[in-house]
Copies of this chain bind each other. A is one copy, B any other.
C-alpha cells in the first residue's frame, strides 16, 4: 500500500503529528506532504478547491463511535473514498532530548488523551496533568518553549516531527483503541490511487448512505437487497434524521465494488425503497 504520490498534498484536521498524519503516512508513505487544517470542514474544502490532492479523515473509533460530522461532510462535498486504513491510538510520553523522566513534573496533552492514560498518572503522582488543545500541538509548544520539567502525550509521528524523544511508549490504559480513516480524492482523481484493476473484487468495500421512513420492517426489506445477492455487510448504523421525525439515515458498508453486477442489482433494488441513496466510494479493504 505504501507509495509516494507525485505532487501529493494531503489535508487533515489537527496540528502536524496528529493521528490523521499517521494515517496519511500509512496510506501514502512517510514522506507525503501534508496540509494541516483547523476544522474538518476546512479539510474537505481544501480538497474540493484543489489546495490539496487528497484528504485523510477519521470516520470511527473503537471507543468513541462514528464521527457523524464527517459522514455529513462526505454527503455534502461528494468527494469519493478511495482507501481506508486503521491506526492504533498509541499514546507516548514525549520530552525534549535533554529532559530525563525524573525531572518531569508536568505533562501536557488533549484532555481525551490525558484521560486515556489514568493508570500512568496514578503510578506517577508527582506529575501534574495540564490540558492542551491538541496532542501533537502540546509537543510543538513544549519544544518551542524548551521546557525543562515537562513532557507531552502524543503520537510517535509527533515526536519525529518536532525532534523530541519518546520516554515511555504506549502508556494508554486500553490498547483496544483504533481509529478508522478514509482517504478522499476529487471525483476526477478517484481512479488515480490505488490502481483499480490491481485488486481482487472480493477484497473491496463500498460505503453508502441512504434514508428510510421508519415503518416496521423497512430496514429488513432494505437489507433484502444485499442478502438476496449474498453480499456481506461489514457496517450498519442508523441515525435519526434531524428535522425529519420518523426518518432515519443509514450508514452501510458491504464487501464488493459498486460497479460489480451483483452490487449494481442490489443498489438498484435498494433505490426502490430508499431515499437519498448516495455511494460514498468503493475502495480496497484495509488490513
- How far, in Å, is A25 (CB) from chain B's closest CB? 23
Chain A interface bracket (under 10, 10 to 19, 20 to 34, 35 or more): 35 or more
A133 CB contacts on chain B under 8 angstroms = 111, 114, 129, 131
Most buried by B among A134, A214, A237: A237
Q: Are B220 and A227 in contact (CB under 8 A)?
A: yes
Cα A68 to Cα B61 with chains together (Å): 9
A115-138 CB mask vs B (1 if < 8 Å, else 0) is 100100000000001011110000
**With the chains together, A62 CA to B227 CA distance in Å?**
29
Which of the residues B68, B216, B240 comes within 8 Å of A64, measured between beta carbons? B68
Number of copies: 2
Check A66 for interface membership: any CB of B closer than 8 A: yes
Interface flag for A171 (CB, 8 Å): no
Known: A64-B68, A110-B111. A214 touches B227 (CB 8 A): no
Q: Are A223 and B223 in contact (CB under 8 A)?
A: yes
Among B134, B214, B220, B243, the residue within 8 A (CB) of A224 is B220
Chain B residues near A238 (CB, 8 Å)? 233-237
Known contacts A62-B240, A217-B227; 5 further A-B pairs (Cβ under 8 A):
A64-B64, A65-B65, A111-B131, A129-B133, A214-B233
Q: What separation, in Å, do the CA atoms of A60 and B63 have in the docked complex?
A: 12
A60 vs chain B, min Cβ distance (A)? 7
